[in-house]
Amino acid sequence: MHNLDDPALFSSLDQAGMRLQIRGLPAQCRDAWEKALRFTLPGDYRNVNKVVILGMGGSAIGGDLVRAAATSSASPLITVQRDYDLPAYVDENTLVVASSYSGNTEETLSGFTQALNRKCKKLVISTGGKICSLAREADVPIFVIEHVSSPRAALGYSLMPLLAIMQNLGLVSDKSAEVESMVHALETLGSSWNDDISTEHNQAKKLALKLNGKLVVVYGSGILSDVARRWKTQINENSKSWAFFEVLPELNHNAVIGYRYPVSLKEHILVLMLRCPSLHPRTLIRYKVTGELLEQQKIQHQILDSDGTNPLKHIMSLVLLGDWVSYYLAILNGADPTPVPEIDFLKKRLSEVK
Q: Estimate the crossing angle of helix 155-168 against helix 25-37, to 10 degrees.
A: 30
Q: Do 310 and 235 share a domain, yes or no?
A: yes
User: Tens digit of pLDDT for each residue in 71-126?
Assistant: 765 678 999 999 999 999 999 999 999 999 999 999 999 999 999 999 999 999 99
Q: Are residues 157 and 209 located together in one domain of the fold?
A: no
DSSP string, 246-278: EEETGGGGTGGGGGSS-GGGGGGEEEEEEE-TT
Contacts of 172 (CB under 8 A, 6+ apart): 70, 72, 74, 75, 163, 166
Q: Is residue 300 part of a domain?
A: yes
Residues 208 and 300 in one domain: yes
User: Residues with catalytic annotation?
Assistant: 237, 253, 347
**DSSP SS3 for 176:** helix
140 plus 241 within the same structural domain: no
Per DSSP, the three-state class of 135 is: helix
pLDDT of residue 74: 66
Q: Both 32 and 141 in a single domain?
A: yes
> How far out from the chain centre does Cα 337 lie?
16
Shared domain for 75 and 106, answered yes or no, is yes
**CA distances (Å), origin 336, targets 25, 110, 331, 340, 341:** 19, 32, 7, 9, 11
Considering the domain boundaries, does residue 252 fall inside one? yes
User: What per-residue confidence (pLDDT) applies to 70?
Assistant: 86
CB 56 within 8 A of CB 82: yes
How far from chain centre, in Å, is Cα 75? Answer: 20
- H or E segment to which residue 54 belongs: strand 50-54
Regarding whether 136 and 205 lie in a shared domain, the answer is no
Pair (169, 200) in one structural domain:
no
Predicted structure pTM score: 0.96
* Domain extent for 208: 7-13+195-332
CA–CA gap between residue 123 and residue 97 (Å, rounded): 5
CATH number for the domain that contains residue 28: 3.40.50.10490
Strand partners, 79: 52
Distance CA 49, CA 99 (A): 19
Asked if the structure places residue 324 within a domain, the reply is yes
Q: State how far the Cα of 15 lies from the Cα of 28, in Å rounded to an integer.
A: 21
For the chain, which residues score pLDDT lower than 50? none
The per-residue pLDDT for 73 is 55
Residues 6+ apart with CB under 8 A from 113: 134
Domains identified in the chain, total number = 2
Together in a domain, 25 and 140: yes
**Does some domain include residue 352?**
no
> Counting every residue, how long is the chain?
354
Are 207 and 167 in the same domain? no
